[in-house]
Amino acid sequence: MRRPAISGIAHNRSSRLEGFYRRSLEDRVALISEWAALTSEETALLADSIGPRHADLMIENVVGRFAMPFGIGANFLIDGRDYLIPMAIEEPSVVAAVSSAALLARAGGGFSTGSTDPVMIAQIQLLDIADAVKSKNAILASKERILACANTSPSLSRLGGGPQGLEVRCLPDTPAGPMLIVHLLIDCRDAMGANAANTAAEAAAPVLEQLSGGRAGLRILSNLSDRRRAWVEVEIPAKAFDSSDYSGRDVIRGIAEANAFAVADIYRATTHNKGIFNGVDAVLLATGNDWRAVEAGAHAWAARDGQYRALTDWHVRGCEEGETLYGRLELPLAVGTVGGATRSHPSARIALKILGFEIDGTNGIGPGNCGHDGDTVARSGSHGAKRLSEIIAAVGLAQNLAALRALATTGIQKGHMRLHARQVAVSAGAEGEAVEYIAARLIAEGRVRVERARELLQT
Ligand code: MEV
């Protein structure tokens, strides 16, 4: 699947950053600044983002700021275009692992993605209904009137978004008695859409009460955004997995077996999907998106047939000579490239810029712009949110591939140990070049302990 260029997306450079991790922090910053054409102010913000005053305007009871490492997932080729992936995460190995999996995927032409329209569901709960069938029919017969009431954002409809459809579900037997649930389907364009959905639900509730003869209870979006999904596929030749210790054919078979385990077993599926979210959440956080919403929706989606399962499919394709590993991930992904923290948080703005999204400055950096501004919902009609959801799906699949490849071969501890040893060396007081030296010695000795690192520092 190939798609046309999206304006502002950087696509004439390679994301294949060989030896990026070996460069100094200063070199890495300089390279990324050049890649994303960051201004000097933006480059400075990579190191020091929101100030305490800005934080105080974002949430309540602020007493400080909590900083996270901001790293770059390299080597991504998505729909024929190179991407560097901004990731905010505290866990060692995640960024290195996703970059190595993205490199493997390049051997198969990279990732191919797709997504639905950005349609969110807003729910209205109707109680005290005397005749559910009659009320349901009355609501369905007045669909256009209800959608008109729910159409509260002229700017969103100007961009082709807004309420598009309506469904009525009956819950005949709940502990609180029978209820009718109305779903408004709202195209939120480039916004995550919580504000748009909640406003629409509240606006439509009075007419729904009138039509049903009932009483409106909750009016709120559903985080099971199963109408707003993204998917990604990859197909990698077995030989790309060859190493001195393992044949590629054995590795891809191991990955397929690992996936089968996670499809069949809820305990494994939970860990498997957690690994996907190592990547997904890191991009959501870096871009100022609501990772709790995406997690909630994706886990519910993973259990849609009644059993919680792996979100991915990995299987071996082809025959003897030409075997490949095919992988696919599909999940609900309600994200925005406008509104909320995506534009008001300076780091999120920079993350979007690194991904190639145009930053128009309409919701600029500054303490006055930190709230959830429903009006920013509709500033962009460029399908940025769709694209972001596809990129995030690709990161999730790559992260999963990295984990399964390690688990199906040497196990994950070997890779983890390298970074863990660095942290142990730092805890023991190592600085500068000594960190790598001590870490290497700890690994070579098989004793990654702070006491040993202290001893080594004294010699
Ligand atoms: C660790 O953060 C994630 C993994 O456990 C995922 C997996 O087991 O697939 C390695």
Q: Residue 372: which pLDDT band, with cuts at 50, 70 and 90?
A: very low
Q: Note whether residue 150 is domain-resident.
A: yes
Residues 170 and 269 in one domain: no
Mean pLDDT of 52-70: 90
Nearest-CA neighbor of 276 among 326, 239, 232?
232
Q: Is 245 a catalytic residue?
A: no
Residue position matching structure tokens 């992936």: 85
Residue 317 has what pLDDT? 97
Q: Which residue's CA is minimally distant from atom 1 of ligand 1?
A: 275
Question: What are the pLDDT digits (tens) for 244-293?
Answer: 999 999 999 999 999 999 999 999 999 999 999 999 999 999 999 999 99
Q: What percent of the chain has pLDDT over 90?
A: 78
Q: Which of 205, 222, 239 is the last residue of a domain?
A: 222
Residues 435 and 398 in one domain: no
Mean pLDDT of 368-381: 31
Lowest mean pLDDT among 51-55, 202-206, 221-225: 51-55
Q: Which residue's CA is minimally distant from atom 6 of ligand 1?
A: 275
Rounded Cα distance between 367 and 374, Å, is 17
Q: Which of 192, 222, 252 is the last residue of a domain?
A: 222
Residues with CB under 6 A from ligand 1: 91, 271-272, 274-275, 278, 403, 407, 412
Q: Is 242 a catalytic residue?
A: no
Residues 372 and 235 in one domain: yes
Lowest mean pLDDT among 9-18, 153-162, 314-323: 9-18
Residues 241 and 178 in one domain: no
Q: Note whether residue 12 is domain-resident.
A: no
Q: Note whether residue 15 is domain-resident.
A: no
Residues 299 and 368 in one domain: yes
Q: The domain containing residue 265 runs over which residues?
A: 20-116+228-410
Cα–ligand 1 centroid distance for 278 (angstroms): 8
Q: Note whether residue 195 is domain-resident.
A: yes
Residue 168, domain CATH? 3.30.70.420
The number of domains in the chain is 3
pTM equals 0.88
Residue 320 has what pLDDT? 65
Contact 110, 234 (CB under 8 A): yes
Contact 212, 180 (CB under 8 A): yes
Residue 287, domain CATH? 3.90.770.10
Question: What are the pLDDT digits (tens) for 428-455?
Answer: 999 988 998 999 999 999 899 999 999 9
Residues 245 and 374 in one domain: yes
Q: Is 183 a catalytic residue?
A: no
Residue 165 has pLDDT above 60, yes or no: yes
Residues 29 and 91 in one domain: yes
Residue 30 has pLDDT above 70, yes or no: yes
Atom of ligand 1 nearest to the CA of 258: 9
Q: Note whether residue 3 is domain-resident.
A: no
Q: Residue 340: which pLDDT band, with cuts at 50, 70 and 90?
A: confident
Residue 125 has pLDDT above 90, yes or no: yes
Q: Report residue 434 as tokens.
A: 């000594």
Residues 99 and 136 in one domain: no
Residue 341 has what pLDDT? 86
Exactly one of 42, 190, 233, 290 is catalytic; name it.
290
Mean pLDDT of 301-325: 94
Q: Note whether residue 5 is domain-resident.
A: no
Nearest-CA neighbor of 337 among 259, 391, 395, 256?
391
Q: Which of 222, 257, 273 is the last residue of a domain?
A: 222
Mean pLDDT of 206-226: 98
Residue 360 has what pLDDT? 59
Q: Is 274 a catalytic residue?
A: yes
Residues 258 and 301 in one domain: yes
Q: Residue 237: which pLDDT band, with cuts at 50, 70 and 90?
A: very high
- Bigger pLDDT: 289 or 11? 289
Residues 108 and 137 in one domain: no
Most confident of 11-25, 83-97, 417-431: 83-97
Compute the mean pLDDT over every residue in the chain, rounded to the nearest whole number: 90
Lowest mean pLDDT among 22-31, 296-305, 380-389, 399-408: 380-389
Q: Note whether residue 241 is domain-resident.
A: yes
Residues 259 and 146 in one domain: no
Q: Which residue's CA is minimally distant from atom 9 of ligand 1?
A: 272
Q: Note whether residue 58 is domain-resident.
A: yes
Q: Residue 403: which pLDDT band, with cuts at 50, 70 and 90?
A: very high
Residues 295 and 426 in one domain: no
